[in-house]
Structure 1
Amino acid sequence: ENEEDEVNLSDTDRRFLNKTVDTIYALLSKKQLDVNILSDRLCMSPRQFHRKISALTGETPASFILKVKMKKAKLLLDGKPDLSIEEIADLCGFAHYSGFYHAFKKVYDISPRQYKRKID
């Protein structure tokens, strides 16, 4: 959906977004993801990070992080059918299944279980 917007980004901005996504993935695996830690890892103040992400994506840092988490969830559902929904929620940084369920349903308009059944 934002591939069209990505065409207009400079190489520097594209590298920044790629580094941000890589850092989000690294923090997910350590269960330490929040905006302050993410901005610190990117050597930015939280305010500076907020301005930069908003300018590049039109989203708040929290909604950008959620989008990255949901893309990872979808990739895991598509590529690792042996994982349970609860395991996928955990791998995507959700402490509780219910939070994962509601976020997935809000973003994709289908529950994670229904999505998994469609691809099985």
Structure 2
Amino acid sequence: MHKNTLQKNTKIANSIMYYIYTHIDVDIDINELSKNLNISKFHMHKVFKNIFGKNIYESIKSIRLQKAASLLLTNKYSTISEVANLCGYSSHSSFIKAFRNKFESSPKEWRNGAYKKYSNSILQDSNISTETSIDFSNIIATIVDMPEMKSYYIRNNSYINNVKETWQKLYTLILNNKVKKYQMIALLHENPTITDLNNYQYIACIKTDEKEDILTQRLPKFKISNGVYAKFDLQGKGEDILRFIQWVYHDWLVNSEYETTTKPSYIIYHKNNYLNNENLFDISYYISIKF
């Protein structure tokens, strides 16, 4: 495939995926989406399948269920039907069936503790230990009102493979274009500790006001949502980030009075473990909350 064609198709596929994530709580109209992108439905489905390896409907279903799995834990004052509706399901029975097929438990069983076994199996299947020397319970959240942030990004179709190479590409672009003021941000649409990490949508972003013309030529862009977030500061090594996110979702949120929303969480890197030989990180982690 010609380089320009590949870049064009990647942009189309990313636009489709972005649309899905930002409209996951409503009925997604494929006809409307194809009109917005000014391409045929056939071409839209073909491009998406070539870039992501699965069809649009499979992706919509998977994303809806991932959102539901997190909201069932964090939105404990919402009924199962209310959670299903938040994730675009109009039928209670179809939601129950789809959820059981995906997570091997009913939504009620999931809420009552089945999520712990499932989450640990995700990490262990990826050779990630659930043990850590860090006592996360001592970490205090700060509640912050975050602005909308414009970012340029590369989407990586795995949390396990090629993440380091993805960050190296972004960093090379920063150095080549002598960008001085920037932030590196990882956008996490789903809770990675209940998602197949080999098929996870990991999005590496640059936030900057510099060199916009150069960055726009090479990278697609989107806006990270504004709103109220719980902010956690953490330093550590490599895999501690996933263990920490597991604690935030499955301990801190479950035991707090807060609920989360369908907005993605994100990591702002002060030190990026993928870009140093010591595998050390210094991050601020943000998760969308409501009370």
The alignment's TM-score, normalised by the length of structure 1, stands at: 0.72
Which structure carries more helix by proportion? Answer: 1
Deviation at 1:96, TM superposition (A): 0.8
2:83 is aligned with 1:88: yes
Alignment of 1:72-87 (within 5 A): 72-87=67-82
Secondary structure at 2:94 match in 1: helix
RMSD: 2.5
Alignment of 1:1-120 (within 5 A): 13=10, 16-17=13-14, 19-29=15-25, 31-118=26-113
Aligned residues: 108
Q: Flag structure 1 segments of 5+ consecutive residues without an equivalent.
A: 1-9
Secondary structure at 2:23 match in 1: helix
Higher Cα Rg: structure 1 or 2? 2
Q: Distance in 1 between matches of 2:46 and 2:12?
A: 17
Deviations 1:63-103 (A, max 9, x none): 11101111111221232222211001101111111111111
Residue of structure 2 in register with 1:6 after alignment: none
Which residue identity does 2:63 align to in structure 1? V
Which residue identity does 2:16 align to in structure 1? T
The alignment's TM-score, normalised by the length of structure 2, stands at: 0.33
Deviations 1:46-68 (A, max 9, x none): 11221122112221211111011
Which residue identity does 1:110 align to in structure 2? S
- Distance change >3 Å, CA 48–CA 94, structure 1 → 2: same
Q: Distance in 1 between matches of 2:36 and 2:71?
A: 25
